[in-house]
Structure 1
Amino acid sequence: MIGGGPTGLSAVLVLGRAKLNVLLIDNNDPRNKVTNESHGFITNNSLSSFTIREKAKNDLLKYSNIQLISDNVADISDQRSFFISETLKNKLETKRIILATGLKETIPNVKGLESVYGNLFFIALFVMVGS
């Protein structure tokens, strides 16, 4: 798993509980790092994104088949029956790769907006499926 945000952490938990060996590679630079509190996320209302991530990582550490590393993936190469992921620190061989790297917002060029981003101003991302 590449990416340790809510989606990546949740997927790692499900795969780990299914007894698969899972490696999570995360650079600890979350997209929502400017958010002081998260709201509407059951059992985590009013917690910071960092607190939620730490709670999730503590849940994952209960499983001996889940490994967490802090690193950046620089390259992935397909070797037909496996992949090689080159990080800044390692070369890793895996059978499968899941990318859960999130999106990056573009803050509109409005004077003063950046100073309140994550506190009074947020960017909402919506995805519509179907017609």
Structure 2
Amino acid sequence: MPYDVVIVGGGPAGLSAALALGRARKRVLLCDAGPRRNAAAEHLHNFVTRDGTPPREFREIGHRQLAEYSSVEVRDVRVEAITGTRGAFQVKLKTNTVEARRVLLCTGMIDEMLGLDGFRELWGHSIFQCPYCHGWEVRDRKWGYLARGVESLHFPLQLRGWTRDVVVFTGAAFDVPEPMRARFGEMGIRLETRPVARLVAHENRLESIELSDGTTIPCEVLFAHPPQRQVDLVRALGVGLDEEGYVRVDPMTRETSVPGIYAGGDLQTRMQGAIIAAASSVQAAAMLNHELTVELATAEVAGGRE
């Protein structure tokens, strides 16, 4: 008997979708394996009732709640390939192959660490992507932002709300337009255009940023947006991607360019966060439930007439 939906990925997105579909009495397989994107994070924030929860504990709570729904199965197994068509997908797992009427991708993204000395070790401890997730705990400290292009220069403007000490590092990689320089000056944001040599830290806590000429800039918290890429499974499926590499979905149904395959969570937007990922996946689950209910009920009635 095929699953109604196979969900790939068991973070906040996959867990939320599985819960919604389980409560809708759909037969679901949640495949949760592979490296955790937020493994380096100490706590999950900005998620009401779960603010400050460690990611591992969040998953454990999710698994316990899903256990109440007999139609939901959670496996610690990797999805290796997906073939077939809408209504009849073959999902190859490491242990066996299962069938599914629909597939929901909640795989997140892979963050590619910058080649800056100390970057990988500090990721999730002193280097963050989202001030809404981590800003409160490090408020009023010395903050920095690694800007990778002109298009990223609007981001540090909001950091001024958490601290008065903000330095934007461009690493001499691009020219900063005069209007933006003026805006930084008006807001008391320092602009540092010299190349960055390395990050100076004690254990896993950032202390300063050393520039190519040996100058050190005191910095306790660094925000950065390193390049991201899709996991191999998503790329192999050939779903349509936008110009930034995120999966294109229908804004209402969350269906991708491949009929029957849906996406929720971070893999389809740069606006990333646990609660945002959960919300988009619940939307996908609701659309899937509606579609499957109509499909299955129609087939059941038609079968009864034969």
Give TM-score, length-normalised by structure 2: 0.40
Q: Are residue 55 (structure 1) and residue 61 (structure 2) matched?
A: yes
Q: Are residue 95 (structure 1) and residue 79 (structure 2) matched?
A: no
Identical aligned residues as a percent: 31
Q: Deviations over 1:65-95 (max 9, x none)?
A: 1101111111111156411101111110111
Residue identity opposite 2:99 in structure 1: E
After TM superposition, the structure 1 = structure 2 runs for residues 17-36 of structure 1, keeping only pairs within 5 Å, are: 17-27=23-33, 29-36=35-42
> For residues 80 and 7 of structure 1, what CA distance do their matches in structure 2 show?
22
Question: How many residue pairs align between the two structures?
Answer: 128
Give the structure with the higher percent helix. Answer: 2
Q: Shift in Å at residue 19 of structure 1?
A: 0.9
> For residues 42 and 79 of structure 1, what CA distance do their matches in structure 2 show?
38
- Match of residue 119 from structure 1: 125
> For residues 13 and 91 of structure 1, what CA distance do their matches in structure 2 show?
23
Contact 1:3 1:27 in 2 (8 A): yes
SS of the equivalent of 1:96 reads strand
Residue identity opposite 1:97 in structure 2: V
Contact 1:4 1:28 in 2 (8 A): no
Q: Give the greater-gyration-radius structure (CA).
A: 2
Residue identity opposite 1:87 in structure 2: L
SS of the equivalent of 1:15 reads helix
How has the CA–CA distance of structure 1 residues 6 and 80 changed in structure 2, closer, same or farther, with 3 Å as cutoff? closer
CA RMSD of aligned residues (A): 1.7
Q: Are residue 9 (structure 1) and residue 9 (structure 2) matched?
A: no
> For residues 109 and 25 of structure 1, what CA distance do their matches in structure 2 show?
32
Q: Deviations over 1:19-45 (max 9, x none)?
A: 111110110531111111112111111
Select the residue among 62, 65, 68 that pairs with 2:71. Answer: 65
Deviates more, 1:66-75 or 1:39-48: 39-48
Contact 1:77 1:83 in 2 (8 A): yes
Deviates more, 1:103-112 or 1:93-102: 103-112
SS of the equivalent of 2:65 reads helix
Bigger RCO (CA 8 Å, 6+ sep) = 1
Give the structure with the higher percent strand. Answer: 2
How has the CA–CA distance of structure 1 residues 28 and 56 changed in structure 2, closer, same or farther, with 3 Å as cutoff? farther
Residue identity opposite 2:16 in structure 1: S
For structure 2, the 5+ residue unaligned runs are 1-6, 131-224, 226-269, 272-306
